[in-house]
Amino acid sequence: CFDELHGALGDCSCNVDTIDYFNNVKIFPRVQSLVSKDYFRFYKVNLKKECPFWVDDSRCAMKYCHIKTCTKESVPGYENGYGDSEMEAPAAKYSAEAQTICNSDDHNPDLGYLNMTISAASQHEIAKWKVYDDAVENFCECDDRDADADYVDLSLNPERYTGYKGPSAHRIWRSIYQENCFRPKINPYYDSFPYVLSSDLGNMCLEKRVFYRAVSGLHTSINIHLCSKYLLSEKAVGFAAPPDGEWGPNLEEFQRRFDPSQTHGESSNWLKNLYFVYLLEMRALAKAGPYLEHEEYFTGSPTEDEETRHAIRNMLGVIYTFPDHFNESSMFNGGSQAASLKNEFRDHFRNISRIMDCVGCDKCKLWGKLQTQGLGTALKILFSSKWNSPESDPPQGKLPLIHKSHERLQRTEIVALFNAFARLSNSIRELENFRILLR
């Protein structure tokens, strides 16, 4: 699967090999150390939101397995006029799906277990953050303000194999690609994989292609993580405790997912999409860099905060030197049509972030929400007019950097942006490990 992973990325002037070197040598060590700092370690998120699109099939399926109450009549709203057409489909299909889920054991709640522990010392610090954050004017609605939102210590909940798969996971990916990715053409095998054929992308305009490639790159990253931190052997550590075990790379799993002969030749494009979304987020960091350099990174500890600011400046300084940044100025340039395309782009992305509330495994939902929020923040920096400051005319031949912004980012957006980028950076680094293992 690495044979074709060379050369031009497409839709930008950059190539894979340049990113490999730049990331693995310069960015990876810096960004991993940065996200281990307290400011970036705690992420506030609401994991209890209802799925707005369909009855949560995974949890419902578990109920069906255990207490056998989840028939189609028990699906809320079924009797209240979910019509015969499309709305009925999920409920009507439900029992059969639930049965398949039970049989295929699609969800391992132990591996998806979320550790919500926050030490007493950290709780004390976090109470101070709230006072500080509340004094900051907010411009966007994020679910960290919900009554149900909680802080999660990301270091206690690494992104790794959880066993989440089967109909519930496929439904999420399918709705992301089929309903929200500006599909050029429906795959003739409508419900089957791959949902989008890379050969059709040439018929799409740049903006729609960028959208698809960003989402696909995120999908690649999630799947690389589960292959590189796979449960190799399990040790039971006691009743009701999450399993402990040996976690490490699973080469067979990686090959199954990314060998072109097993993916209709699509997987090399999926891997390239990872590099593409990395480039997109890196450009957002560069563009917002001068703004990010002046953030406080408040945690209440002056030493820690200064170290964080120093690490940020250091990493951004390296990012500025990247020779081939993604050039967002070539997008959304077609008059009134461009404005409506941009609105559509934003609405589709919002929908994807809402689909994350339908993920049926808590740990996957945590990282899914964090990474979509990070990508959403990057897209906002790149495409929101509020982030295009007229004062920051670029020096000749350079892309614009933002010096002043009319819009501040919330703490949770900054945390998500850096952590999402750190995940992509880690995936590219893990690819190098798989290359070595394959040799």
Q: Is 387 annotated as a binding residue?
A: no
Q: Is 225 annotated as a binding residue?
A: no
Catalytically annotated residue among 1, 60, 181, 364: 364
Quote the tokens at residue 8: 């031009």
Q: Is 164 in the site for ligand FAD (CB under 6 A)?
A: yes
Q: Is 313 in the site for ligand FAD (CB under 6 A)?
A: no
Instruction: Give the whole-angstrom CA distance, residue 386 versus residue 408.
Output: 10
Instruction: Rule CB under 6 A: choose which of 35, 277, 286, 359 binds ligand FAD.
Output: 359
Instruction: Rule CB under 6 A: choose which of 90, 167, 249, 368 binds ligand FAD.
Output: 368
Q: Is 270 in the site for ligand FAD (CB under 6 A)?
A: yes
Per CB under 6 A, the segment of 53-61, 84-92, 95-103, 189-197 that binds ligand FAD is: 189-197
Q: In the annotation, is 358 catalytic?
A: no
Contacting residues for 93 by C-beta, under 8 A, at least 6 apart: none
Q: Is 354 in the site for ligand FAD (CB under 6 A)?
A: no
Q: Is 160 annotated as a binding residue?
A: yes
Contacting residues for 424 by C-beta, under 8 A, at least 6 apart: 217, 221, 274, 277, 278, 281
Q: Is 216 annotated as a binding residue?
A: yes
Q: Is 275 in the site for ligand FAD (CB under 6 A)?
A: no
Q: In the annotation, is 51 catalytic?
A: no
Catalytically annotated residue among 51, 181, 358, 361: 361
Q: Is 283 annotated as a binding residue?
A: no
Residue 194 vs 289, nearer CB to ligand FAD: 194
Per CB under 6 A, the segment of 143-151, 217-225, 284-292, 335-343 that binds ligand FAD is: 217-225
Site string for ligand FAD, 122-161 (x = CB under 6 A): -------------------------------------x-x
Q: Is 250 in the site for ligand FAD (CB under 6 A)?
A: no
Residue from 178, 101, 168, 120 nearest 368 by CA: 168
Q: Is 173 annotated as a binding residue?
A: yes
User: Rule CB under 6 A: which residues touch ligand FAD?
Assistant: 159, 161-162, 164-165, 169-170, 172-173, 193-195, 216, 219-220, 222-223, 226, 257, 270, 359, 363-364, 367-368
Residues catalogued as catalytic: 361, 364
